[in-house]
Amino acid sequence: MLSRPKLMIPGPVDITSEVQEAMSIPSRPHYGPEWLSLYGEIQEMSKQLFGTRNELYVMAGPGTMALEAALGSALEPGAVVLVPSNGFFADRLVDLLEGLALQPWRVTAPLGEPVLPAAIAEALQAHPEVEALAVVHHETSTGVLNPLEGILDVARDHELLTIVDAVSSLGGVPLPVDEWGIDLCVSVANKALETPPGVALLSISARAAEAIKRREAKRGWYLDLKTWQWYAEEWGHWHPTPTTMPTSNINALHYSLQTLLEEGIEARYAQYRAAAHAVRAGLRALDCPMFAEDAYASPLATAFEMPEGIKPDLLRNYLRQKAGVLISVGIGALHGKILRVGHIGQARRRDYVVAFLLGMEDALSDQGLDIQRGSSLVALEGLLN
């Protein structure tokens, strides 16, 4: 029916027309005084958002690329890295570590549950060889927000280098990088920063910067952060990054960050919470069980199960075709078991949330369930119009 559905997936997201316009400016040089001023402002705004005084790079590419750069540049081959493991993106970290000849070591929790600090503390007792911790903050595949602050406290007790995949959390939930002691923190433009895909952000603590400098061998060139350090230090007055940059994307990111900081980050957090609350309450009214319990549920994406006997893919296809709303299926082991709806981008708005919930009502009615029209619209307060 509708050729372009409302995106209610956990990224990429529907952006505002203003961000779209900022994206559509012609390409410009990625060097020289004008560029340096824009790049510098982005670094400053991002540092505010990350709550850090650390070095911060804007890299061209997806989040996975920046994670690969962080892990490969700061750790020597063979290093043992603890990975709290409770979903697809933790598995991705394990794959990255293996690909880099590092040694991942999992502490696992069931899908849909958080990995708790106590489990990590206990696991570490018998394993003094662990050098680093690589952890997903928001496990987007299950909608679980791992208790990062507590996990990082444990890491600090053991003096581990800490690498955080904040790809889908930064900008959507508090994440004070310096206060919590994150050495390398990775995020992207196209999730809670609500900008088109193509750009990753990476903050690097002084300790991590030293570790990177100390490594003798290089791992490739673009993905070795030594290269980025060199350009920042030696060419920073003219050409601060190693390569050509997607200047239009970065212009859009500048606009998006500016808007976010002007509107206030706390206000944005509240909008995500309102959207998640409306969706969770609405789905519960339709007898759809939540996959993650409220205490660990992220306000950025909600994973849910179906009423008895209903197939997730049927609902998802109905929503796409009849309601013009695109949500996500479960990935990996959760395919065919859950659906996921994102609250980031324009999906935090009332019209998106209402279109989704009414679409769900229609889809379930279509499956023969007795649903009263409007019965899922039970918690719409606080939603952005």
Ligand X SMILES: *Cc1c(COP(=O)(O)O)cnc(C)c1O
- Residues 123, 36: contact at Cβ < 8 Å? no
- Residues 63, 187: contact at Cβ < 8 Å? yes
Per-residue binding string, ligand X, 83-122, x by CB under 6 A, is ------x---------------------------------
From candidates 46, 52, 54, 64, binder to ligand X by CB under 6 A: 64
Residue number, 131 or 165, with CB nearest to ligand X: 165
Q: 15-52 burial, b for 16+ CB within 10 Å, e for fewer?
A: beeebeebbeeeeeebbeeebbebbeebbebbbebbbb
From candidates 20, 38, 62, 207, binder to ligand X by CB under 6 A: 62
Per-residue binding string, ligand X, 178-217, x by CB under 6 A, is ----------x-----------------------------
Residue number, 64 or 256, with CB nearest to ligand X: 64
One-letter amino acid for residue 125 of the chain: Q
Question: Does 63 interact with ligand X (rule: CB under 6 A)?
Answer: yes
- Residues 91, 246: contact at Cβ < 8 Å? no
Question: Does 356 interact with ligand X (rule: CB under 6 A)?
Answer: no
For residues 350 and 346, what is the distance between their CA atoms, to the nearest angstrom? 9
Question: Does 300 interact with ligand X (rule: CB under 6 A)?
Answer: no
- Gyration radius of the chain over CA positions: 21
Residue number, 62 or 236, with CB nearest to ligand X: 62
User: Residue 188 contacts by C-beta under 8 Å, 6 or more apart in sequence?
Assistant: 11, 62, 63, 66, 167, 197, 199, 200, 201
For residues 159 and 205, what is the distance between their CA atoms, to the nearest angstrom? 14
From candidates 68, 91, 113, 165, binder to ligand X by CB under 6 A: 165
Shortest reach from residue 67's CB to ligand X, in Å: 7
Shortest reach from residue 365's CB to ligand X, in Å: 32
From candidates 140, 142, 203, 328, binder to ligand X by CB under 6 A: 140
Residues 7-26 that bind ligand X (CB under 6 A): 11
For residues 44 and 56, what is the distance between their CA atoms, to the nearest angstrom? 9
For residues 281 and 129, what is the distance between their CA atoms, to the nearest angstrom? 45
From candidates 49, 56, 136, 185, binder to ligand X by CB under 6 A: 136
Distances from the Cα of 181 to the Cα of 53, 125, 304, angstroms: 12, 21, 33
Name the token pair of 368. 């023969």
Burial of 346 (0-12, 13-18, 19+ CB in 10 A): middle
Residue number, 165 or 224, with CB nearest to ligand X: 165
Shortest reach from residue 346's CB to ligand X, in Å: 18
Question: Does 146 interact with ligand X (rule: CB under 6 A)?
Answer: no
Token pair 């990177």 is found at 212
Question: Does 296 interact with ligand X (rule: CB under 6 A)?
Answer: no
From candidates 73, 162, 168, 249, binder to ligand X by CB under 6 A: 168
Residue number, 135 or 323, with CB nearest to ligand X: 135
Shortest reach from residue 38's CB to ligand X, in Å: 22
SS3 call for 340? strand
Q: What residues line the site for ligand X (CB under 6 A)?
A: 11, 62-64, 89, 136, 138, 140, 165, 167-168, 188
